[in-house]
Amino acid sequence: GAVVSQHPSRVICKSGTSVKIECRSLDFQATTMFWYRQFPKQSLMLMATSNEGSKATYEQGVEKDKFLINHASLTLSTLTVTSAHPEDSSFYICSARPLGLNYGYTFGSGTRLTVV
Amino acid sequence: TQLLEQSPQFLSIQEGENLTVYCNSSSVFSSLQWYRQEPGEGPVLLVTVVTGGEVKKLKRLTFQFGDARKDSSLHITAAQPGDTGLYLCAGGDGGTSYGKLTFGQGTILTVHP
């Protein structure tokens, strides 16, 4: 149980276009999901907290107009990278936590975004 | 701002050796989690510790949460090549609901046959 599915796993897009990444909790409901960015051989950097039915909370330095987050249902959050540039190329990962004590966060398998 | 200092950043050892990874903070965390991540994949939860002084064992891995809930360690006995990966510690700030996670910098472990 406690599976988070992330799609797509890899995407290549042209500069100036937008890309949408989906994060789904398959067997549990998640009122909160988290979006991270990870550079090669580095740790995860939290970008924003996605809240079902309300606005996302962005970390300092993250452009909310560039990284649009929508959490319209209890099982789906989306991250849209708008007007992508090569410097947006990175590994994006989402996570969610099933309710209940002693459950850690479950992470998606990540999305490798390459902007050319 | 809560920070987690993870060390060492890189660890390269021979099969059969033991190793310890440390996570330290000046802040108190409600929980401490350890993850392992392989290239191109998301992190996979290894363990969650919530009680100060708690020790958990997972086969050859031993996890410890400091008495003051500010630090944690991961000890691997008789490392194997399959243990190779990025190990991440993460502290929770939301009591039993965990809340937002603060990640350490990560430890890249390479175990040579």
pLDDT for A45-65, tens place per residue? 999 999 888 899 999 999 999
Interface residues of A toward B, Cβ cutoff 8 Å, are 4, 6, 34, 41-46, 49, 91, 93, 95, 97, 101-110, 112
pLDDT band, residue A41 (cuts 50/70/90) = confident
The chain A residue lying nearest B40, using CA atoms, is A110
pLDDT band, residue A11 (cuts 50/70/90) = very high
**Nearest neighbour of A107 by CB, restricted to B42, B48, B96:** B42
Q: How far is B94 from chain A (nearest CA, A)?
A: 12
pLDDT for A55-98, tens place per residue? 999 999 999 999 999 998 999 999 999 999 999 999 999 999 87
CB neighbourhood size of B16 (10 A):
11
Residue A16 confidence (pLDDT)? 97
Mutate one of A36, A44, A50, A111 to test the B interface: name it (highest B CB count within 10 A). A44
Asked if the Cβ–Cβ distance from B100 to A34 is below 8 Å, we say yes
Q: Which residue type sits at A17?
A: T
Instruction: State the count of interchain CB pairs (< 8 A) between A and B.
Output: 57
The chain A residue lying nearest B95, using CA atoms, is A101
Asked if the Cβ–Cβ distance from B100 to A46 is below 8 Å, we say yes
Of all residues in chain A, the percent with pLDDT exceeding 70 is 96
Q: How far is B17 from chain A (nearest CA, A)?
A: 23
pLDDT for B36-78, tens place per residue? 999 999 999 999 998 999 999 999 999 999 999 999 999 999 9
- Classify the C-alpha dihedral B71-B56-B110-A110 as positive or negative: negative
Residue B94 confidence (pLDDT)? 62
| Distance from C-alpha of A81 to C-alpha of A85, rounded to nearest angstrom | 9
- Torsions phi, psi for B83 (to 5 deg): -80, -10
Residue A53 confidence (pLDDT)? 86
Angle at A70 between CA A66 and CA A73, to 5 degrees: 170
